[in-house]
Amino acid sequence: MKTAAALLLIFALCGCSKLAVFEPSKIDDRLSYDERLDSPITLRNADGATLENGQIISRKKIAVERLEKGFSLLAIDGEYAIAADKNGALIFYDKDGKTKRFSFKEPIVSASTDGAIIAAVSKTNACRIIEIDTGKTLFFSQEKPALAVSDRLARALIGKEQAIIPSLDGKLLVVSRASATIVKEIAVGSEEFFGNIIFLGEHGGYAIAATNNRVLSIAPNGTQRSRDLDVRFLSLQKSGLYIFTTDGEILLVSGTLATLSSARLLYARFVAAAEKNGVLWAVEQSGYAARFSDNLQNVKIYELPDAIRAPVYADERGAWHYDKLARWR
């Protein structure tokens, strides 16, 4: 009885508590919506955003401007692009906008290309490498299915000799292109529910990977360093690599994950970031934009017209929210 009463008390207290939100002590200025899109954003990733009408918004230049109905942008690699739908169809676009179509039994949720191959991961955590010209599957590995799939999934790094594929269960599969076999597996995270790798990139000669609770650095000689953090997302900009945590901290880090500079806005929940002229802008969910300069040491807070209730894509122009653009100052 005492245990039951204690549980009821905990539930009652949890039900009455409110989620702490970011409340700036000072608002330096306000941003307004300067442009309206023809259609709202349905999906966004680090490369761009897909609108409901199929239009693509991206800082990267590609030949295709509008996708077929039901397709969303997965990746832009150089002059190439990849789009997929929810039924297992995938389209590769070359530099002239010509297409190559592929079909799978399950939806593809992450993909990269170098123009010759596509490294892809499906919703069921099937990892594969496909030869674009022939459609032949060069490599396939069915990994352990993930219990959840994040809306911020990393995609493969493709080199001349190897491809590094981020699985949904927190592993990096290092695949030899010559032998089409896994030559190494690297565990990034081990959480069963949120084990997806949400970032994979190169910074300062190091490979950087992250899950929601760990960031891993891999040196060219294979040396690994890691930091356990509650990660919201990572953002690789010209000025460096930024880690945004769930408690409102922003860390500027080196390739070895050493903190070069940091800032913290209490209870801030950042959802997107971009850089303009060496200044970092970050969108906060409650309806603010933070402008960081001088290596995060100076911050100004700008109020947005409304709170964030839809996917946000940010680039050097501004923040794209639902069907509107708020330009940076």
Amino acid identity at 90:
L
> Is 13 within the bounds of a domain?
no
Q: Which CATH number belongs to the domain containing residue 271 in this structure?
A: 2.120.10.30
pLDDT in tens, 164-187: 999 999 999 999 999 999 999 999
> How many structural domains comprise the chain?
2
| Residue 189 banded pLDDT, cuts 50, 70, 90 | confident
Type and span of the H or E element at 12: helix 2-16
Q: Which CATH number belongs to the domain containing residue 132 in this structure?
A: 2.130.10.10
| Residue 8 banded pLDDT, cuts 50, 70, 90 | very low
91 - beta bridge partners? 83, 101
> Is 204 within the bounds of a domain?
no
**Proportion of the chain above pLDDT 70, given as a percent:** 93
Asked if pLDDT for residue 10 goes beyond 90, the answer is no
Please give the structure tokens belonging to residue 90: 């995938």
Residues 172 and 56 in one domain: yes
Q: Which pLDDT does position 1 carry in this prediction?
A: 41
Residues 73 and 166 in one domain: yes
Please give the structure tokens belonging to residue 71: 């397709």
Residues 173 and 263 in one domain: no
Q: Which pLDDT does position 193 carry in this prediction?
A: 53
Amino acid identity at 190:
S
**Proportion of the chain above pLDDT 90, given as a percent:** 88
Nearest 5°: the CA angle 116, 106, 171 is 70
Which residue, among 285, 291, 249, has the nearest Cα to 23 in the 3D structure? 285
pLDDT in tens, 281-291: 999 999 999 99
Structural domain boundaries, residue 286: 21-45+235-329
> Is 300 within the bounds of a domain?
yes
Please give the structure tokens belonging to residue 252: 């500027």
| Residue 52 banded pLDDT, cuts 50, 70, 90 | very high
> Is 91 within the bounds of a domain?
yes
Q: Which pLDDT does position 130 carry in this prediction?
A: 98
Residues 269 and 316 in one domain: yes
- Contacts for 156-162 with beta carbons within 8 Å, 24 or more apart? 156/110, 156/111, 156/112, 156/119, 156/120, 156/121, 156/200, 157/112, 157/200, 157/201, 157/202, 157/207, 158/77, 158/112, 158/113, 158/114, 158/117, 158/119
